[in-house]
Amino acid sequence: MIYIDCSEVVRNPHLHTGIQRVVRNVASRLSLDSGCQAVAFMGFGFVAINGLPSSSSILAVESEARRNRLATIKSIKKQLAKIKILKYFFRTFIVPIVERWRRVAREISYIVGRISGKYDFVAIKDGDVFVSLDTNWYADSFKAVRKLKKKGVVVITVVYDLIPINYPQYCDEYLCVVFEEWLGSAATISNSFLTISLDAKKSLEDYLSSQGFSCQMPSDYFYLGADLAGAVELNNLVPRHDIVELCKKKVILTVGTIEPRKRHDLIVDGFRSSMLSEDGYILVCIGRNGWKVENFLADIKLAEDYQKSIYILHDITDAELDIFYRNCELLVFASDVEGFGLPLVEARMKGKRVLASDIPVFREIADHGVSFFEAGNALSLAKELPKVLSIQEDPGVMDWLTWDEASLQFLSKVKKMASLIDQKDC
């Protein structure tokens, strides 16, 4: 049996960022019929999870009041984070206390679940495979996973990228520390690794080698799927009127969390320098707020072209995102670094051209419908924008994996890794 850990998605069902979409799409498609079972860590053991809601379903039922509450909480957190002494106090004292109480709560829930039969606890045994698919960077399940490995269970960990290690300037300081500690621990309890691109695989192997992991753990990669959601599900979600109206304009689109490495600042500068707004084009940035972007967002919202030719949208459903993809003139993807680059593939699968920064992973997954500009260079972007928009030839639809196909590829790679692993520890 192959057990797929989805703990963070189960604990935080409201999250719908890139990694959570991967977890939901893969885990929901691999059923018991394929020898797989989704699980989540609960106190001392793992419980069976039958059915993970999709990100679009979650957004559909999420009330406006709840969104407003979350926005208020985020705003308060950001204001407090600016006070360095409070930031230090929070991380040094409050976070450990909260994590301890969360752990105690899960342990109590485990005991209650055992007694009441509320949870379906699984007995993972010798010969089984345990795949850590979720982002368990803050998890307290390492002891349980280590015990599984000692019992003869094959442990495979999915690493999406090494950005917090290789590009710490783009991440929250606390995340960098936690991520490096997590990856070091994962390297000691995993039999092998899977990544989401060849480029990410090379980065991981280089890092493990630099850290002295000389046992040459087998590693491989699988590609992500790119169909947003099922046709029935999308049809059941009614887009908001203002979104539909915005899509009627000549949209230059960018999709992804608003954070420094995505280079929204460069995209805005390049768009302004290109003077395309004079020809009726608008720039629409879709993505939740990340970290280290307070000044950028403040400047944008004070600018004269905000809500005229430049728009930033945070709470977009998959149905609304699908409309933007289908109706946009071009997708711009300016990241300095990525583990994969899902929006590039999603846009190309809708038959749209893409203008992307010239980085290795984009070259890896791109087809003829993707053009490139010099990474980190706003003038290069401004120069290429009108060139790409003027191309008359239809780029066609990219031939890429659906999530069904990607899930089967993932399963195939997991089985391949498991078959290569000698049960002896390195």
Supply 257's token pair.
């969390």
Alpha carbons 112 and 110: distance in angstroms, whole number: 6
pLDDT at 77: 56
134 close to 156: Cβ distance less than 8 angstroms: no
Its CATH class, for the domain covering 2-79+96-225+405-420, is alpha beta
Q: Give the three-state DSSP class for 137.
A: coil
Q: Where are the beta strands (DSSP E) in 287-329?
A: 310-313
Alpha carbons 132 and 147: distance in angstroms, whole number: 14
Supply 152's token pair.
């003869």
Distances (CA, A) of 285 to 138, 196, 208, 253, 255: 30, 24, 36, 6, 6
- In DSSP notation, 328-370 reads -SEEEE--S--SS-HHHHHHHHTT--EEEE--HHHHHH--TTE
Q: What is the CATH number of domain 238-400?
A: 3.40.50.2000
Helix, strand, coil abundance in the chain, percent, nearest 5:
50, 15, 35
User: Domain segments of the chain: what residues?
Assistant: 2-79+96-225+405-420, 238-400
- In DSSP notation, 39-70 reads EEEETTEEEEE-----HHHHHHH--HHHHHHH
pLDDT at 64: 44
Tell me whether the CATH fold assigned to 2-79+96-225+405-420 matches the one assigned to 238-400.
yes
State in Å, rounded, how far the first CA of the chain is from the last one: 23
pLDDT at 66: 45
Alpha carbons 264 and 284: distance in angstroms, whole number: 11
Q: Digits of tens for pLDDT over the chain (426 positions)?
A: 999 999 888 877 766 667 888 898 899 898 777 899 999 988 778 999 987 755 444 333 334 444 455 556 556 655 655 565 665 666 666 666 766 666 666 566 555 555 555 567 899 999 999 999 998 775 668 888 999 999 999 999 999 999 999 999 998 888 888 899 899 999 999 999 999 999 999 999 999 999 888 656 789 999 999 876 544 454 556 778 888 899 999 999 999 999 999 999 999 999 999 999 999 999 999 998 888 899 999 999 999 999 999 999 988 887 889 899 999 999 999 999 999 999 999 999 999 999 999 999 999 999 999 999 999 999 999 999 999 999 999 999 999 999 999 999 999 999 999 998 854 444
